[in-house]
Chain A
Amino acid sequence: MSVVDVREAITQAHHEEWARVVGALTRRFGDLDIAEEAAAEAFATAVQRWPADGVPPNPGGWLTTTANRKAIDRIRRENKRDDKQKEAQLVYDNDPPEPLDAIDDERLRLIFTCCHPALAMETRVALTLRMVAGLTVPEIARAFLVLETAIGQRITRAKAKIKAARIPYRVPSAEELPARVSGVLAVLFLVFNEGYLATGPETDPVRHDLTAEAIRLTRLIRALMPQDGEVAGLLALMLLTEARRTARISASGELVTLEEQDRGTWDATLIAEGHRLVRERLVARVAPGRYQILAAINAVHTSARDIRATDWSQVVALYDQLVHLDPSPIIALNRAIAVAELDGPEVALAAVDRLEHKLAGYHAYHATRADLLRRLGRSQNSRAAYDKAIELAGNTAETAYLTRRRDQLG
């Protein structure tokens, strides 16, 4: 086996087995900190040993066994001076590795623990990315433009709280699930969005690793709760967004708007699956939540041959429904963008201008204004709005797009 093959095998094992190893050890030792450290050591050992020894026939089993040993070594070291009894209880786990479908159970338990409502939202996101997705602290820090030390401390504090307050390591009961799942969906949506519109001058404009992980975990939640409308809605929303991923960034790294995207490059399989989910929810005839409405909006866009064929009245009607559920100014801004297509840029601009006091620090507010002003022929005002949007935008592809549009103004 070549060095490249071994490296690939380790990357694949990390992708597939990380959560299982962390999960199995958390269950055994009741301590996320021990589990995380031992899992990291086990993967480091694989990097050292697999090139010489070859990739073991069951990488997941090998990694779990190795991590178990590392964890026991650590506990022994820490207990060296005190009670011998505790030490005697620790035996090497020679049980056969868990069957394959148990990996998903382990991942689900981890998700619900990391997304526990007793943890702050930003902590849940960081913890989920570390424990479930296996991202390193520097990777998480980069994704959210936060200092590594801050992310490290956040994760350390969360692990300590989980242990001290005894946040359980389990999937909530059927009765608790509906209340608990919305917090999980919020985390997965944040992870997806950060992947889809990655921030930072040094970051790729789209972080496919984050979007793919968010979709994978949402699929897992859907398998657990196939009847839940919002779970289906979020999955559909992610699939219909992900389907346009490659069309969204040009070869030169510039954002391509929905209007200018080559619709032939959209992923037809993902769109078909997303549409199927949206139809399934329509048939269910239950009042939709915000993910389902957002998915429906995306279904309208992905059903249209081109921007002119888009059923804008349907889009605006869906936004009206959404504004009702979620009166946030960002939803109102997106509604105004659809209104521009239906009632013209002047009506839309009036609606956008009413949001100024709430959205003055948000790049999309200025980008939307810039576009509407441009369409109204008010070049000077448009240029000023582009300047402001460029100043506030954090995504490299978006900045490139806005700069070009500004420079094209007459």
Chain B
Amino acid sequence: MQYLISVIDDKSNPGSTDRQPAISVFNERLIAEGYWVFAGGLADTDAATVIDNRGEQAVLSDGPFVESKEYLAGIWVWEAPDLDVALKLATEASKVCDRKIEVRPFL
């Protein structure tokens, strides 16, 4: 079972910026224990571009699809046997990242 783990940051109250070493250690453990599928931090939402090609021609717009105080700052994909395992890891991840974490199952 795979879960999308979203790291959520808050523009008005951002998490601390010194978390990378701790995140690397945590990633090592995820890999060693077989949970790690993929991970990546994301550039600022200002760097996003939205494309809508549902109509006659593609429309590009500058910025994220939704402007909000809270935004997606990074993701993991984990392989875990059930939600309890994913939530336990996510609880640690939130501490490690100093940010909120959303756990969402893939179909």
- Residues of chain B touching chain A, judged by Cβ–Cβ distance below 8 Å, are 1, 3, 81-84, 87, 103-105, 107
Q: How far is the CA of A117 from the CA of B105 in the complex (A)?
A: 16
Q: Which residue of A lies closest to B103 (CB)?
A: A165
Q: How far is the CA of A365 from the CA of B22 in the complex (A)?
A: 50
Chain A residues positioned under 8 Å from B105 (CB to CB): 164-166
Chain A residues positioned under 8 Å from B82 (CB to CB): 166-168
Q: Which residue of A lies closest to B85 (CB)?
A: A168
How many residues on A have C-beta within 8 angstroms of the other chain's C-beta atoms?
A: 10
Instruction: Report which residue of B84, B87, B107 has the largest number of chain A beta carbons within 10 angstroms of its beta carbon.
Output: B84
5 nearest A-B pairs in the assembled complex, by CB-CB distance:
A168-B82, A165-B105, A166-B82, A165-B83, A167-B83
Q: Which residue of B lies closest to A163 (CB)?
A: B105
Q: How far is the CA of A167 from the CA of B83 in the complex (A)?
A: 5
Cβ of A172 under 8 Å from chain B: yes
Contact of A168 with B107 in the complex, beta carbons under 8 Å: no
Q: Which residue of A lies closest to B104 (CB)?
A: A165
Given A165-B105, A168-B82, does the pair A118, B1 have CB atoms closer than 8 Å?
A: no
- Using an 8 Å CB-CB cutoff, how does the interface string of A116-135 with B read, 1 for contact, 0 for none? 11100000000000000000
Chain B residues positioned under 8 Å from A166 (CB to CB): 1, 81-83, 105
Q: Could you pull out 12 A-B pairs where Cβ atoms are within 8 angstroms?
A: A164-B105, A165-B3, A165-B104, A165-B105, A166-B1, A166-B82, A166-B83, A167-B82, A167-B84, A168-B83, A168-B84, A172-B84
Q: For chain B, what secondary structure do more than half of its interface residues adopt (helix, strand, loop), or is it mixed?
A: mixed
Given A164-B105, A166-B1, A166-B105, does the pair A176, B84 have CB atoms closer than 8 Å?
A: yes
Chain A residues positioned under 8 Å from B104 (CB to CB): 165
Chain B residues positioned under 8 Å from A167 (CB to CB): 82-84
- Using an 8 Å CB-CB cutoff, how does the interface string of A358-371 with B read, 1 for contact, 0 for none? 00000000000000
Q: How far is the CA of A90 from the CA of B94 in the complex (A)?
A: 42
- Using an 8 Å CB-CB cutoff, how does the interface string of A161-204 with B read, 1 for contact, 0 for none? 00011111000100010000000000000000000000000000
Instruction: Report which residue of A166, A172, A176 has the largest number of chain B beta carbons within 10 angstroms of its beta carbon.
Output: A166
Chain B residues positioned under 8 Å from A172 (CB to CB): 84
Q: Which residue of B lies closest to A176 (CB)?
A: B84
Chain B residues positioned under 8 Å from A165 (CB to CB): 3, 83, 103-105
Least CB distance from A119 to B in Å reads: 11
Q: How far is the CA of A290 from the CA of B79 in the complex (A)?
A: 39
Contact of A164 with B107 in the complex, beta carbons under 8 Å: yes
Chain A residues positioned under 8 Å from B81 (CB to CB): 166
Chain B residues positioned under 8 Å from A118 (CB to CB): 83, 87
Least CB distance from B31 to A in Å reads: 22
Chain A residues positioned under 8 Å from B107 (CB to CB): 164
Least CB distance from A149 to B in Å reads: 26
Q: How far is the CA of A312 from the CA of B10 in the complex (A)?
A: 50
Q: How far is the CA of A117 from the CA of B87 in the complex (A)?
A: 10
Q: How far is the CA of A164 from the CA of B2 in the complex (A)?
A: 11
Q: Which residue of B lies closest to A173 (CB)?
A: B84
Q: How far is the CA of A118 from the CA of B90 in the complex (A)?
A: 12
Least CB distance from A405 to B in Å reads: 50
Q: Which residue of B lies closest to A117 (CB)?
A: B87
